[in-house]
Amino acid sequence: MKKMKTLLSSIVVAALAVGMTACSGSDNGKSAGGKDGATYRVAYVARAQADSYAAWLADEMKKAAEKYPDIKLEVFDGQADDETENKMIENAVANGFDGIIVQPNNGEAQRAYVEQAVAGGLKVITTNAKIDNIEGSSTVDSNPYDQAAGVAKVALEKVPKNAKVVVLLGPAGNFHSSERRVAWQKEFFDKRPDVKIIAEDIANWNKNEAMAFMEDWTTAHGKIDAVISMNDNMAAGAIEVVKNDKNYADMQAYGTDGVPEATLLIKEGKLTATVLQDAKELAELNMAGMHALLTGEKKKVEDSISNPLIDPSNVQKYIDLYTELKMIK
């Protein structure tokens, strides 16, 4: 099975490399971006289109790029696989892209390849999550500690005494996952020593992986008072497992991202709270930053977005917004 997985991964990477070369329209030289009506070619390497937030961000990147006639954006799916994502970054360098925006799967796994892109002369932005301390690169992100802290403060008051909770983590080495977990520790668990973590594992931002863990945990531990998740997608997976079980009717759940599904779950009383990580705002800052770098307006970009709390008191506002944007039918 391991050999088969490796073989399939190699085939996918090879196919992606061919696809990137075919659609580049490059003759192995840099485009004359912005000069005499020509365009800058920018690659956006998304972490994984199967992740609801990553898919939303990729879609918003395309929309934001439309505001810049001198930018041609090409989006590539990293499929939550470090080898695939790293190969895409290498290919962007080899195929003469002018700029690249990277949404890391595992920041440290992508670090050397982002450094390679900088060395290759590309304008580089890392986003959601940023990779710090790469000379010559820029960042556009949100503060993952603040995200989780905002939700943890709600849990501090709402989670019942002596509660039994489970924790769902993003990929190992992912900056957002690790910083959110630090915030939960400092802002909630350290202040609520009565709360017991009965299970904790990495579900890689993935709804199906979270469902599998939740199925195991409910079988092994029975009653679970709260799900502490580092993103909405995993929280939704955990909720799905117990949604029809009256024994879990009072279970609380906490996430991050504020995706449309999360707002509906809050409205239904199944998700307790989340924070908005506005993909539209993040995409617009990324594209504005990339344009400024490519045109020479700026040499470095360091931007961040805010993260408002979403709970039952204000959730309808976000549902109405997503409905207007046709993200909720």
Domains belonging to the chain, first-starting first, are: 11-128+279-298 (3.40.50.2300), 144-276+312-324 (3.40.50.2300)
Q: Convert the pLDDT of each residue in 130-141 to its tens digit.
A: 999 999 999 999
pTM: predicted TM-score of the whole model, two decimal places: 0.83
Contact between 144 and 184 under an 8 Å Cβ cutoff? The reply is no
For the record, the structure tokens of 201 come out as: 């594992």
Cα–Cα distance measured from residue 70 to residue 66, given in angstroms and rounded to the nearest whole number: 9
Cα–Cα distance measured from residue 236 to residue 229, given in angstroms and rounded to the nearest whole number: 9
For the record, the structure tokens of 289 come out as: 């930053």
Q: Convert the pLDDT of each residue in 22-43 to its tens digit.
A: 333 333 334 444 444 569 999 9
For the record, the structure tokens of 190 come out as: 């350290």
Contacts of 39 (CB under 8 A, 6+ apart): 31, 33, 69, 70, 71, 72
Cα–Cα distance measured from residue 124 to residue 286, given in angstroms and rounded to the nearest whole number: 10
Give the Cβ contact number of residue 99 at 10 Å: 24
User: Residue 36: left (phi > 0), alpha (psi -120 to 50), or beta?
Assistant: left
Dihedral sign of CA atoms 95, 87, 206, 134 in order: negative
User: 164: pLDDT confidence band, cut at 50, 70 and 90?
Assistant: very high
Backbone angles phi, psi at 202, to 5 degrees: -90, 120
Contact between 203 and 213 under an 8 Å Cβ cutoff? The reply is yes
Q: Convert the pLDDT of each residue in 48-107 to its tens digit.
A: 988 889 999 999 999 999 999 999 999 999 999 999 999 999 999 999 999 999 999 988
Q: What 8-state DSSP symbol labels residue 276? A: B
Peptide bond into 129 cis (omega under 30): yes
